[in-house]
Amino acid sequence: MPTSTARDATGSRAPSELFENVTCPFCGMLCDDLDIAREGGKLEVRNNACGKSVAGFQRALPKSAPMVAGKVVPLDEAIQAAAALIKGAELPLFGGLATDVDGMRAVMALAERSGGIVDHALSEGQYRNTRVLQTVGWTTSTLTETRNRADLIIIVGNDLEKLHPRFLERIVLPPDSMFGVTAPKRTVVFVGKGSVKAAGAGDVVSLPCDIEQAGEVLGVLRARLRGFRVAPIRIRGVTLAKIDALADLCRKAKYGVVVWSPPSLDFPFAELTVDQITGLVKDLNQTGRFAGLSLGGAEGGTAAGAVATWQSGFPLRVSYASGAPDYDPYRYAISRMLAGGEGDLLVWIASFSPDLAPPPTKVPTIVLGTPGLKLAKPPAVFIPVGTPGVDHAGTLIRCDNVVSLPLKNLGRAELPRAADVIAAIEAAL
C-alpha cells in the first residue's frame, strides 16, 4: 500500500493511504502514536491499537442523509428546519456536545444567540471533580509527568482499563522514561478491583474493596499517615496491616500520583471519594511530593468543558436564557431538566460514538450525529456529521487539560463538520 498522502491529478485523495502518528479521539488520553491505513473508505489500525481505537476507526458507516420528520431532504433544507425550531424555542437545551474544539465554539455561539443552555452528556462525572476543585482545590499532575517521574502510582477505581485501555501500557508500565523511572522500579497500588495484566510490572499492591468503599479506605490511610489510632476496619479484602503498608510506601515515595477516572465513581455522593483523593495528596505534600491525576474526557468532554470556560467564564451547565452566561451545576443539568419537563427543544451533538444517543424526551429533538447513531425514534431533524480525527481534521484537549492535540482527516467519508453545520444554523436564524 502506498504511504503517500498525495492527491491525484483531479485533486481527489489517493485511493490508498497510510497515516502515521495519528491521534485517537475515542478516549480522553488521545494517544497520538497510531498507524492507520485507509483502503478506499475503510480504515485499519495497524499499530498501537486498543479496543476503543479499533471500534472507532474501523466502524463501518451505514448510509445516512439529512432528514426532517423522518423524510430525506437536502442539507440546506435540514439546516433551515433546525433553525426554525431553535428560533421558535423559548428555552433550547444543547446537549451531547460530543464534538471537537471548533464544534464546541460553534455550540457556545449558537447557545448565546438563542438563549439556550449547554451541558455535556457525560458532565455528571466531570462534576464530581468540579465540586471538589471549586470547594477545596487540588494539586494535579499530567500524563507525561506521571509517566516520567512517578515511582508510586495509586489507582482508585475498577474500570480504568475499560475506560482507558492503554493507560497501563503507556503511562504506568512504559518501556522507558525520561528520568530513569522505569516499570521495574515503579510500585502500582490498586484501591478497588483493578489489576496489572501487562508484563514488566514492578511491585503490585491490591486493596480489593468495593468501589463505594474506596473513600473509606483512603480516609483510614490518611488517619494512619497522621499517626491516629483507628478502630478495626470492616472492609472485605482490606486489612489495617495493608493500609499501614501502603502508608509506609507513601512516606518513602519520591513522587507519588493518585489516579482516578470520574466515570468509574458512579454512585451517590462519589464526590466525597474525590475529596478523599485530593485530601490525601495534600497531606502527603506536607513532607513529600505527591499529585493527583484525573482521567475521563471521553466524547470530547474535556474540550467541551475547556471551551465553555473560555467562552463564558464558567464550566459546563451554563445558561444564556437571561442574555448573559449564568452557571448553576444543579439547575442547568440537562438530564434533570428533561426529567422535570424543563426546556422546549433538545439539540443533541454526538459525532464520535454511535452509542451516545439522546435521552428519551417529549420535546422536539434536533440531532447532529454520526451515521448509525442508535436513536430510539426519528428526531424532528437529523443531520449526519463527520467524526473529528476520522472524517475531518480538528483539535481536542487531553484529559489532563494541558495539551491540545491535532486530529487528522483520514478521508473515511465525505461528511460535514458539526462546527460548519452549527454555524450554518446560526446564520439561518
Q: What is the pLDDT of residues 117-140, one digit of tens each?
A: 999 999 988 888 888 888 888 999
Cα–Cα distance for residue pair 94/313, rounded to 1 Å: 18
Burial of 133 (0-12, 13-18, 19+ CB in 10 A): middle
**DSSP H/E element including 256:** strand 256-260
Q: In this structure, are residues 28 and 298 in contact, taking their beta carbons and an 8 Å threshold?
A: yes
Reference 379, options 147, 81, 132, 146; nearest CA is 81
**Would you state the pLDDT for residue 339?**
93
Top-tier CATH class for 67-122+299-391+411-427: alpha beta
**Would you state the pLDDT for residue 195?**
61
Cα–Cα distance for residue pair 254/288, rounded to 1 Å: 7
196 pLDDT tier (thresholds 50, 70, 90): low
Second CATH level (architecture) for the domain 126-296: 3-Layer(aba) Sandwich (3.40)
Counting residues of the chain whose pLDDT is more than 90, the rounded percentage is 77
Statement: residue 9 has pLDDT above 50:
no
Least confident among 90-104, 154-168, 309-323? 154-168
**Would you state the pLDDT for residue 33?**
96
Cell numbers at 196, concatenated: 496489572
Reference 368, options 391, 346, 389, 338; nearest CA is 346
Cα–Cα distance for residue pair 280/226, rounded to 1 Å: 11
Statement: residue 7 has pLDDT above 60:
no
Reference 297, options 207, 223, 403, 382; nearest CA is 403
- 204 backbone dihedrals φ, ψ, rounded to 5°: -125, 125
Helix, coil or strand: residue 242: helix
Reference 112, options 135, 94, 127; nearest CA is 94
Counting residues of the chain whose pLDDT is more than 70, the rounded percentage is 93
List the chain domain ranges.
67-122+299-391+411-427, 126-296
- 152 backbone dihedrals φ, ψ, rounded to 5°: -135, 125
Least confident among 5-14, 108-117, 252-261, 346-355? 5-14
pLDDT one-digit tens code per residue, 206-230: 899 999 999 999 999 999 999 999 8
Average pLDDT, the chain: 91
**Would you state the pLDDT for residue 320?**
97
Helix, coil or strand: residue 190: strand
pTM above 0.85, yes or no: yes
Neighbours of 158 (CB within 10 A): 22
**Would you state the pLDDT for residue 1?**
31
